[in-house]
Protein backbone atom coordinates (compact mmCIF):
# COMPACT_ATOMS: atom_id res chain seq x y z
CA UNK A 1 0.00 0.00 0.00
CA UNK A 2 1.46 3.31 -1.18
CA UNK A 3 -0.33 6.60 -0.87
CA UNK A 4 0.31 10.15 -1.96
CA UNK A 5 -1.32 12.99 -0.08
CA UNK A 6 -1.33 16.52 -1.45
CA UNK A 7 -1.74 19.67 0.57
CA UNK A 8 -1.41 23.40 0.13
CA UNK A 9 -4.20 24.13 -2.29
CA UNK A 10 -6.63 26.93 -1.77
CA UNK A 11 -7.88 30.25 -3.01
CA UNK A 12 -5.37 32.86 -4.09
CA UNK A 13 -5.58 36.13 -5.99
CA UNK A 14 -3.98 36.55 -9.40
CA UNK A 15 -0.31 37.27 -8.97
CA UNK A 16 -0.19 35.44 -5.69
CA UNK A 17 1.71 32.35 -4.67
CA UNK A 18 1.00 28.91 -3.29
CA UNK A 19 3.20 26.03 -2.33
CA UNK A 20 1.87 22.53 -2.83
CA UNK A 21 3.27 19.54 -1.00
CA UNK A 22 2.88 15.86 -1.65
CA UNK A 23 3.99 13.23 0.84
CA UNK A 24 4.43 9.60 -0.09
CA UNK A 25 3.79 6.99 2.55
CA UNK A 26 3.60 3.24 2.81
CA UNK A 27 6.01 0.51 1.87
CA UNK A 28 8.50 2.29 -0.36
CA UNK A 29 11.99 1.29 -1.30
CA UNK A 30 12.63 4.20 -3.59
CA UNK A 31 10.85 6.85 -5.58
CA UNK A 32 11.77 7.52 -9.17
CA UNK A 33 10.26 10.50 -10.93
CA UNK A 34 7.73 12.65 -9.12
CA UNK A 35 5.46 15.08 -10.84
CA UNK A 36 2.50 17.36 -10.67
CA UNK A 37 -0.45 17.22 -13.02
CA UNK A 38 -3.51 19.39 -13.16
CA UNK A 39 -6.97 19.12 -14.56
CA UNK A 40 -9.44 21.91 -15.13
CA UNK A 41 -13.15 21.23 -15.68
CA UNK A 42 -13.79 20.00 -19.19
CA UNK A 43 -10.11 19.65 -19.96
CA UNK A 44 -7.73 16.75 -20.08
CA UNK A 45 -5.24 16.18 -17.33
CA UNK A 46 -1.91 17.74 -18.22
CA UNK A 47 1.60 17.47 -16.92
CA UNK A 48 2.70 20.57 -15.06
CA UNK A 49 6.15 19.67 -13.83
CA UNK A 50 8.30 16.63 -13.17
CA UNK A 51 11.50 15.99 -11.27
CA UNK A 52 13.48 12.82 -11.81
CA UNK A 53 15.45 10.86 -9.25
CA UNK A 54 18.59 12.53 -10.55
CA UNK A 55 17.13 15.98 -10.02
CA UNK A 56 16.35 16.86 -13.61
CA UNK A 57 13.26 19.01 -13.93
CA UNK A 58 10.90 19.77 -16.75
CA UNK A 59 7.91 22.08 -16.97
CA UNK A 60 4.95 22.74 -19.15
CA UNK A 61 5.48 25.83 -21.26
CA UNK A 62 2.52 27.49 -19.60
CA UNK A 63 4.15 27.44 -16.16
CA UNK A 64 7.83 27.69 -17.00
CA UNK A 65 9.45 30.56 -15.16
CA UNK A 66 6.62 30.76 -12.64
CA UNK A 67 6.54 27.31 -11.04
CA UNK A 68 9.35 25.39 -9.40
CA UNK A 69 9.29 21.71 -8.56
CA UNK A 70 11.57 20.24 -5.93
CA UNK A 71 11.83 17.13 -3.82
CA UNK A 72 13.05 16.13 -0.40
CA UNK A 73 13.96 12.48 -0.55
CA UNK A 74 14.45 12.20 3.20
CA UNK A 75 10.83 13.22 3.67
CA UNK A 76 9.51 11.44 0.58
CA UNK A 77 8.00 14.74 -0.42
CA UNK A 78 7.70 16.71 -3.61
CA UNK A 79 6.83 20.38 -3.70
CA UNK A 80 5.45 22.74 -6.27
CA UNK A 81 6.13 26.40 -5.65
CA UNK A 82 3.68 28.40 -7.73
CA UNK A 83 4.30 32.10 -8.21
CA UNK A 84 2.63 34.75 -10.34
CA UNK A 85 -0.52 32.69 -10.43
CA UNK A 86 -3.05 33.31 -13.16
CA UNK A 87 -6.76 32.47 -13.35
CA UNK A 88 -5.95 29.87 -15.99
CA UNK A 89 -3.91 28.01 -13.38
CA UNK A 90 -7.15 27.12 -11.63
CA UNK A 91 -7.40 23.35 -11.53
CA UNK A 92 -7.21 20.30 -9.36
CA UNK A 93 -3.54 19.52 -8.94
CA UNK A 94 -2.53 15.88 -8.65
CA UNK A 95 0.69 14.44 -7.38
CA UNK A 96 2.17 11.49 -9.24
CA UNK A 97 5.11 9.28 -8.43
CA UNK A 98 6.84 6.25 -9.81
CA UNK A 99 7.45 4.11 -6.76
CA UNK A 100 9.60 1.06 -6.29
CA UNK A 101 7.67 -0.76 -3.60
CA UNK A 102 10.10 -3.63 -3.20
CA UNK A 103 13.11 -5.23 -4.81
CA UNK A 104 12.36 -8.89 -4.02
CA UNK A 105 10.06 -9.34 -5.78
CA UNK A 106 10.52 -6.24 -7.86
CA UNK A 107 7.41 -4.10 -7.75
CA UNK A 108 7.13 -0.75 -9.45
CA UNK A 109 3.95 1.28 -9.19
CA UNK A 110 2.64 4.51 -10.56
CA UNK A 111 0.75 6.19 -7.75
CA UNK A 112 -1.64 9.13 -7.83
CA UNK A 113 -2.82 11.41 -5.09
CA UNK A 114 -6.42 12.44 -4.69
CA UNK A 115 -5.72 16.01 -5.75
CA UNK A 116 -5.85 19.44 -4.20
CA UNK A 117 -7.86 22.31 -5.61
CA UNK A 118 -6.13 25.52 -6.57
CA UNK A 119 -8.40 28.44 -7.37
CA UNK A 120 -6.93 31.67 -8.70
CA UNK A 121 -9.52 34.39 -8.57
CA UNK A 122 -9.93 37.97 -7.48
Give 88-120 pLDDT, tens digit per residue: 999 999 999 999 999 999 999 999 999 999 999
Q: What angle do CA 48, 86, 55 make, to 5 degrees?
A: 30
Taking CA atoms, 91 is separated from 15, 36, 39, in Å, by: 16, 12, 5
Give 21-36 pLDDT, tens digit per residue: 999 999 898 999 999 9
Q: Say yes or no to pLDDT of 1 above 90.
A: no
Q: Predicted confidence band at 15 (pLDDT cuts at 50, 70, 90)?
A: very high
Amino acid sequence: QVQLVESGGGLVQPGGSLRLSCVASGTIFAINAMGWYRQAPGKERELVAVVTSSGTTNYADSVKGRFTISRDNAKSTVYLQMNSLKPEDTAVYYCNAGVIASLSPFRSLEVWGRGTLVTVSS
